[in-house]
Amino acid sequence: MLGRTISHYHITSQLGEGGMGVVYEAEDTNLGRHVALKFLTPAMAGDEGLLQRFQREARAASSLNHPNICTIHGIEQFESEHFIVMELLDGESLADRIRRSPLDIESVLTLGVQIMDALESAHSKGIVHRDLKPQNIFVTSRGQAKILDFGLAKIDKMDRLALGNKADSELPTAVRPKDLTEAGSTLGTVSYMSPEQARGQITDARTDLFSFGTVLYQMATGSLPFQGETSAVVFESILNRDPMPVNQVNPSLPPELSRIIGQALEKDRDLRYQSATDLKTALKRLKRDLDSGRHAADSSGIRARAASTLQDHSVAVLYFENLSGMKEDEYLRDGITEDITTELSKIKELKTFSRAMVLAYRDKSVTAGQVGKELGASYVLVGSLRRAGTRLRINAQLVDAATDFPLWSERYDREMKDVFEVQDEIAEKIAAALRITLSPQEQQALSAKPTEDLQAYDLYLRGRNYARQVGRQDLQFALQMYENAVALDPDFALAHAGLANVCAEYYYHFERQQQWIDRAIAATQKASAKGHDAPEIQCAEAWVMFADGRYGEAVDKIRMALRRNPDHDGGYYLLGRALFAAGRYQEVVDIMEEALAHSGEN
């Protein structure tokens, strides 16, 4: 191949070779510039499946225009040769850089933020890389990260036509035995796979965040978090074992980096960072604190602040244990637990903790004393839930965090239609156990039902669960759930608010068409007509204003919602985004401490 001229590209040298392609440096004789050409190996050029994968890489990457993603100039064919024309990079792969020694903390954070910025851009277009590893990340001579090789990219179904990709992107991700020895067929490199890839499940953007957590771990320590002599051992480690914290492998690293990497490597993707934006923000915050000298050796400052403000009547509601054993019931478990927190927040003398603050304890074995100490809670509500047909069994227990002694407990065995009464009764019994006298207004607020239709409530909880994922497909599912909920109960204000929220977010993240804003406005009008000024409705209205570019109005509206409920899920996130978009940067800084106190690192 060296010395040949393919079309108008004169090949001068070979740059590298991977599992399915060979990369050469070439001179573009038409434009007088040097480029990189990536060819399928001759052995694979006749394989239709590999050719489609090769073309998918070009289409996926060429749709992205970002300084930290290698630019694709085109995909071309000359006689029987298929090749991708890419920008020529000067530097080395991240794998070669790590091979010499672990990176210093400044380089880890700088490159990490750049890589996350690139993934944020790709994910916003519905493209998931699925094979992120140091070999696919290039570091230029100027210290700039560049993501390469979108050959395994999963393209969201809604984006495939736009990218001209008619091939199925819903590829299975499990590695078959022959994949471990057959060149070019492994769908993702074993050591960097997410648990959902290892299980062969459908992947979303969070799979890239797990893979990046593995890369970040290796950048900081020089070693892999999941190791083994065989791929089977590595799989078992990815699925079942926690890696050694990075600050134990490399004691010079700040504990906060260990926490960030630990959350990125959560095996349950619902407990992982939910977006590249969230992970990028965590890295930027750590970099800022280190640069300013503000970051203490102990990174538990948020929890320490919480503990120092412990209140007599503060209750942390932990996610109930799902005893049904069915994964599909977790949305119900989460929804009922969160709605119990909402009911308790209606009692003025009680302090509750936001979903973001307690999420880290979900499905974890922790004591009330441990949670109380870390969050600053006087009491902890724990429990379990089992759905059997139309019956719902709930066990709830209020525990004194100082003594681990149960203050109140109750078992409920009711019909599903009684779920609202159970939530209200739990709130009232906790108030009584803490000797809090409810005012008539609080009693009225507790007795109010969001809907009389149990099926509509079930659909609402499903929609809320999907909406939190923020992926294109997740928002589409959420939209269906909310639409079905309001069809069953047109007076269901919270479902109308959820519908408005989803339409506004879909417009903002994926499809800038006026119909989404119009639908969102219509839904907020219905919600406010039915539900007056509930914080959920005000937050939905703020999302519509933000998505429509009315940042000042969005700030005012979300602040109204936060005055009503400072722990409203996603409230401070939206406030920060709106302030930043409005150019009110000092106000973003001003709300930081307050936001952290109510929302933790989320």
Amino acid at residue number 334: D
User: Is pLDDT larger for residue 565 or for residue 507?
Assistant: 507
Strands 405-415 and 127-128: unpaired
Q: Hey, what CATH class is 5-87 in?
A: alpha beta
pLDDT of 504 reads: 94
Q: What is the token pair recorded at 422? A: 């159970």
Ordered by start, the domain boundaries in the chain are 5-87, 93-297, 303-447, 454-599
Sign of the CA dihedral running 261, 263, 267, 270: negative
How far, CA to CA in Å, does 247 sit from each of 98, 237, 254, 601?
17, 20, 7, 19
10 Å CB burial of residue 37 (0-12, 13-18, 19+) is buried
Quick: pLDDT tens for 76-131. Answer: 888 877 788 888 988 899 999 999 999 999 999 999 999 999 999 888 888 888 88
Mean pLDDT rounded to a whole number for the chain: 83
Quick: pLDDT tens for 229-285. Answer: 888 888 889 998 889 989 888 888 998 999 999 999 999 998 899 999 999 999 998
pLDDT of 44 reads: 66
10 Å CB burial of residue 161 (0-12, 13-18, 19+) is exposed
pLDDT of 293 reads: 63
pLDDT of 521 reads: 95
What's the CATH code, domain 303-447? 3.40.50.10070
Q: Is residue 168 pLDDT above 60, yes or no?
A: no
pLDDT of 58 reads: 66
Active-site hit among 131, 149, 548, 569: 131
Q: Is residue 165 pLDDT above 90, yes or no?
A: no
Provide the CATH topology of domain 454-599.
1.25.40
Q: What is the token pair recorded at 110? A: 């700088």
Q: Mean pLDDT throughout 23-27?
A: 91
Quick: pLDDT tens for 319-349. Answer: 999 887 677 778 888 999 999 998 898 898 8
Contacts of 289 (CB under 8 A, 6+ apart): 256, 295
Q: How confident is the model at residue 364 (pLDDT cuts 50, 70, 90)?
A: confident
64: left (phi over 0), alpha (psi -120 to 50) or beta: beta
CB distance 459 to 477 below 8 Å: no
pLDDT of 18 reads: 66
- The DSSP call for residue 268 is S
Quick: pLDDT tens for 476-532. Answer: 999 999 999 999 999 999 999 999 999 999 999 899 999 999 999 999 999 988 756
Residue 131 falls in the annotated catalytic set: yes
Q: Mean pLDDT throughout 34-55?
A: 75
Q: What is the token pair recorded at 347? A: 């009692």
- The DSSP call for residue 360 is G
CB distance 137 to 116 below 8 Å: no
Strands 379-388 and 314-317: parallel
Q: Does domain 93-297 have CATH number 3.40.1410.10?
A: no
**Strand, helix or coil for residue 232:** helix
